Amino acid sequence: MKRLTSLDGLRGLAALIVVVHHIMLTFPLFAEPYLVRRAANGLPELLTYTPLHLFWDGAGAVFIFFVLSGVVLTLPVLKQGRDFSWVGYYPQRLLRLYLPVWGAIILYLGWVLIIPRTGAMESAWLGITDKPVSPEALWGDATLLFGTGDLVSPLWSLQWEIAFSFLLPVFVFLGVRFARYNWILAIAAIVGIAVSSSLGNRALVYLPMFLIGVVIATWLPTIRQWHPSRGTQALLLLVAPILIISPWLIRPFESLSFLVKPFDAVTTLGATLAVIAAIVVPVFRRFLESRVMQWFGLISFSLYLVHEPVVISMAHLFGDQNLRIAGLVSVIVSIPLSWVFFKIVEIPSHKLSRKVGDFVRARTKKRPQPHAPIAPDITAHTA
């Protein structure tokens, strides 16, 4: 099956949105609606409670990451079927995630030493990111098994990536076992997210997003054969972003405040449609397959890991009076730094994890091991 390079571009786009998101939060007027109170009138209100919020909606971008991970991790299992080595998968996957995470923590410590976060800043977000470095916090960020240490804030999403990585056999089993009716799984996941968001159960909010990605992977042959009309394509490109930012569209209305948390489910639906649009909408697919977006897709994981300490450090370096300059410098520094991190940390980590995975597979090849779920009969989706 041909690689879906448009999904790489979508990952790069999502990473860029997260960067913009954190830069915006260094400004007190844009941090307030996230952490303190309603956005002030004028530009803050316009950029927060209208579709323009899409360009800095960090949560929606991370939801896209989760759905994409569900797709990408499931496809090799479906392709290889019973030949898929779970014994080799686990060390390869965990090293692939943890080694760059540890590199990002070391880089964070370097930034804190070079530019101490000593001065009080007006942004409420900068206030809560000023965490003291402690062994407990470092251990939390380095393990990501029972929460995080809140030193490198983007790592909050990696704890769910790791949890899903451990649970992949269960998720794939569900996707394959109910292949003919896994649209029911997708609906159940959406409903579960809405209920769990209201109850504050984060595991049952985020893990179902990966399950939706698994469902997309099992239906991928059908999705790739779908050629929607221009009207349907336009509808996808319009509806997906509106759904992604929907919680922000209802926030100004006090009478609808009880829906904000359950609307995580609506955001997830928008993220799902964005992934599908990246596959079936030619104009969007071509944009994501452009050289620029493919390059950002290539470094997206590194960019996601290293940018936030840069953004915070630049805000402290330039101060509240020069946050625009700080934001610009953050971009100028983060992008090349991500490329360097990709070259000297992520690529070697990827190579090492693959070697370890191959070694384990070779050592266990003649031994009985758990079978991967059998790939679904894709004709069931095309009948």
pLDDT for residue 370 is more than 70 = no
Distances (CA, A) of 13 to 166, 301, 317, 337: 27, 11, 27, 17
Q: How far apart are CA 188 and CA 24, in angstroms?
A: 34
Q: What is the structure's pLDDT at 346?
A: 97
Q: How far apart are CA 228 and CA 254, in angstroms?
A: 38
Q: What is the structure's pLDDT at 325?
A: 98
Of 298, 237, 276, 220, the C-alpha closest to 64 is: 276
Q: What is the structure's pLDDT at 252?
A: 87
Quick check: 16 and 331 in contact, CB under 8 A?
Answer: no
Using the structure block, give the residue that is written with the tokens 């620029």.
292
pLDDT for residue 277 is more than 80 = yes
> Residue 36 — very low, low, confident or very high, per pLDDT cuts 50/70/90?
low
Average pLDDT of span 1-30: 94
| For the chain, percent of residues with pLDDT exceeding 90 | 77
Q: Alpha carbon 90 to chain centroid distance?
A: 20
370: three-class secondary structure by DSSP: coil
Burial code (b: 16+ CB inside 10 Å, e: under 16) for 2-33 equals eebebbbbbbbbbbbbbbbbbbbbbbbbbbbb
Residue 339 structure tokens = 């490329």
Q: How far apart are CA 278 and CA 287, in angstroms?
A: 9
Of 368, 366, 372, 352, the C-alpha closest to 91 is: 352
pLDDT per position as a tens digit, 146-181? 888 889 999 999 999 999 999 999 999 999 888 888
Average pLDDT of span 104-119: 92
Residue 37 makes CB contacts below 8 A (sequence gap 6+) with none
Q: How far apart are CA 96 and CA 349, in angstroms?
A: 6
Domain ranges of the chain: 5-382
Q: How far apart are CA 373 and CA 15, in angstroms?
A: 32
Centre a 10 Å sphere on the Cβ of residue 362 and count the other Cβ atoms it contains.
11
pLDDT per position as a tens digit, 257-273? 888 899 999 999 999 99
- 313: number of CA atoms within 13 Å, CB side? 22
Average pLDDT of span 204-216: 96
Q: What is the structure's pLDDT at 382?
A: 36
pLDDT for residue 380 is more than 70 = no
Q: What is the structure's pLDDT at 269?
A: 97
Of 147, 142, 171, the C-alpha closest to 77 is: 171
Quick check: 127 and 121 in contact, CB under 8 A?
Answer: yes
Q: How far apart are CA 314 and CA 310, in angstroms?
A: 6
Alpha helices (H) along the chain: 5-25, 28-35, 43-48, 58-80, 86-114, 124-128, 135-143, 155-177, 182-199, 203-218, 220-225, 230-244, 246-250, 264-280, 282-288, 291-298, 300-318, 323-341, 347-364, 379-382
Using the structure block, give the residue that is written with the tokens 């307030």.
32
pLDDT for residue 48 is more than 50 = yes
Residue 5 structure tokens = 């390079």
Q: What is the structure's pLDDT at 188?
A: 94
Average pLDDT of span 36-59: 89
Q: How far apart are CA 296 and CA 285, in angstroms?
A: 15
pTM, entire model = 0.92
Who has greater pLDDT, 42 or 333?
333
